[in-house]
Structure 1
Amino acid sequence: MNSEDLSVKIFKALGHPIRLQIVKSLLDQSRCVCELLPAFDYSQANLSQHLKILREAGILENKKIGVEMHYRVKLKGITTLLEIMDQTAIEYFETLDFKPNENR
């Protein structure tokens, strides 16, 4: 796998709204699955599938502590990448004639 393939894999993993939310929730600290479940209205199996995709993309890493599986962001550049993505979205909305939170 070359760096371009890996970049595509990372963007694909972050391209799903749930996975993006999971990563954002792990930016400040590691969390166990039991802490993530209440924040997401999905089954543990569904959440585990999303976590697996994020791990396989190299974005997250996990560590078993006792009986709990803890996840954290593995790549430090992810924080910067997400900040740039958010800023780009804001910049895009500024080019339009409405605001992102405006209801039509």
Structure 2
Amino acid sequence: MNRDELLVKIFKALGHPIRFKIIKYLLDGPKCVCVLNQDIEFSQSNLSQHLRILKEAGIVESEKVGLNIHYRLADEQVKNLIHIVQNIIENKLKRYEEE
């Protein structure tokens, strides 16, 4: 897979509302999949599919802790990416308000 394909894969993974919600939960640190399952109103299998896509894109990593699986951001730069996009949106909203 070349760089452009990997870039598209990452943005595509982040582009789904459920996966974005998962990433937002993980911004402040690792979470047990059981906690994610409580906070995200979808079935365990649906959540697992979304986590798999995020993992395949290299956005999250998992670790077995006892009987539970914990997920965390694979790279702290993901936080920066989310913050940059949030800043872009805030700037865009301010411009709309000024018009």
Aligned residue for 1:61, secondary structure, equals strand
Structure 2 counterpart of 1:48, one-letter code: S
Post-superposition Cα deviations, 1:22-79, rounded to whole Å, max 9, x if no partner, equal: 0111111111111111111111111111100000000000011121111000012101
> Which residue pairs with 1:89 in the alignment?
89
Return the structure number with greater helix share.
2
Taking the aligned partners of 2:97 and 2:68, their CA distance within structure 1 comes to: 48
Equivalent pairs counted in the alignment come to 98
Would you identify which runs of 4 or more consecutive aligned residues in structure 1 move more than 3 Å? none
Q: Shift of the alpha carbon at 1:97? A: 4.3
Q: What is the TM-score with the length of structure 1 in the denominator?
A: 0.88
List alignment gaps of at least 5 residues for structure 2. none
Aligned residue for 2:96, secondary structure, equals coil
> Which residue pairs with 2:23 in the alignment?
23
Aligned positions of 1:65-80 closer than 5 A: 65-80=65-80
> Which residue pairs with 1:45 in the alignment?
45
CA root-mean-square deviation: 1.3
Taking the aligned partners of 2:54 and 2:15, their CA distance within structure 1 comes to: 11
Q: Shift of the alpha carbon at 1:94? A: 2.0
Calculate percent identity across the aligned residue pairs: 47
